[in-house]
A = this chain, B = another copy of it.
């Protein structure tokens, strides 16, 4: 069987990957601390602040029930399309909390704006944690009072922020890239959290991307939407879509190059670096899914369209049976084919190839004898890839997820109590 081209193709990067955080781009500072929302001593409130009004754009959960902070952030962005800060708490989602929740989200915004001495519409807010319980506003207000003192533009503030947005996540998630625009270095960085209720169309995920690029609001918003569809919307942990998801991008404009447009000669490099940061964060969320021991990557080629490839990739990576088999290091490709079959997409049932990592297991829909020991060794690694070629067209897509484990059940059987 011909090996899939996408498995071996390498693309020359137009950007540089560096160690960095949301405060690496010029103009950003961050901080985080424990204010009392979480029962442990882990950080539960944090903020990113920009020295200048940053061009900003966001995408939100598609869940019909949207938590109170989302409406407040929408209102802030609608005013001018610029932000000076985003304030985030974990431990409580402020979702399904009625009028009180709306008042609390507004109060978060105005109190932090007052603290910073900026207009309220320059502040965005986000919350993640338990649904349906009122926010402890005394904790929030204490946090707001103490946050500004910790704001730093070096690693420490960003580290505290990255910790403050986590819930059941085990590790913080950061990514950073530098790209050259008009001969000047432009930095893009991001911080995100997962880790349950993660499913395409935004999840229980919060993501914050900062950059010092000079870019117009509409152009940033369009790039953010397109990039989200190829990255954050291609991950799933459990098929549940949360009430609180938000991805927010802020551009300080301090890099001082010509304003970015799609017609700019360095646009593709910028878009690629932007996508790299988002993809790294998305994959980190999938890998750190609740209870996960492995990252699963599903690459579809030869589909009738990119949309079909995307639906098939998500069907496979969302299958509880595929996820359980990966946990058990079982090369059970029958579950992969079943998930392709119920994806609702057009499939030629006679021309499907499947590889588990480098191992061909199905060729032209016919089982290929393979070495079970070799498959077991591959499946015991911490990243498991499935390559599917449908031989129908040129549609392609990649999706990411994680295995389904005892710990997923343990964590979610007793999350609230």
A residues within 8 Å of B by Cβ? 62-66, 93, 95-98, 130-133, 196-197, 199, 201, 238-243, 318-321, 324-325, 327-328, 330-335, 337-343, 345, 347, 349, 362, 365-367, 404-406, 408-417
Known: A239-B320, A319-B240, A412-B320. A95 touches B327 (CB 8 A): no
Given contacts A241-B342, A321-B238, contact A334 B95 (CB under 8 A): yes
A98, chain B: closest CB distance, angstroms: 5
Chain B positions within 8 Å of A320 at CB level: 238-240, 320, 408, 412
The reply to whether A65 and B239 form a contact with Cβ atoms under 8 Å apart is: no
Question: With A330-B414, A330-B415, A338-B63 in contact, do A362 and B96 touch (Cβ < 8 Å)?
Answer: yes
Per CB-CB distance, the 9 closest pairs between chain A and chain B, nearest first, are: A131-B334, A328-B413, A324-B412, A65-B341, A63-B341, A241-B342, A238-B320, A64-B341, A132-B334
Contact, CB under 8 Å: A342 / B63: yes
Task: Write out the residue numbers on chain B whose beta carbons fall within 8 Å of the beta carbon of A240.
Answer: 319-321, 335, 338-339, 342
Known pairs A327-B409, A331-B416, A406-B409. 8 more at Cβ < 8 A? A132-B333, A132-B334, A132-B337, A243-B337, A328-B415, A330-B416, A330-B417, A408-B409
**Is A367 touching B132 in the complex (CB atoms < 8 A)?**
yes
Decide yes or no: A131 and B239 within 8 Å by CB, A321-B197, A342-B201, A409-B406 being known contacts. Answer: no
The closest CB in chain B to the CB of A366 belongs to: B98
Chain B residues with CB under 8 Å of A347's CB are 64-65
Docked CA distance A238–B417 (Å) = 25
- What is the CA–CA distance of A351 and B200 in the complex, to the nearest angstrom? 27
Contacts of A199 in B (CB 8 A): 342
Could you tell me the distance in whole angstroms from the C-beta of A257 to the nearest C-beta in chain B?
Answer: 40
CA A65 – CA B348 in complex, angstroms? Answer: 9
Bound Cα distance A260, B335 (Å): 41
Least CB distance, A391 to chain B, in whole angstroms: 15
**Could you show 13 A-B contacts with beta carbons less than 8 Å apart?**
A63-B338, A64-B345, A65-B341, A132-B333, A197-B338, A241-B338, A241-B342, A243-B334, A320-B408, A328-B417, A330-B415, A330-B416, A331-B416
In the complex the two chains form, what is the Cα distance from A133 to B339 in whole Å? 18
Q: Which of A328, A330, A331 has the most CB of B within 10 A?
A: A328
Determine how close the nearest CB of chain B comes to the CB of A331; give it in whole angstroms.
8
CB distance from A261 to the nearest CB of B (A): 35
In angstroms, Cα B366 to Cα A240, docked, is 22
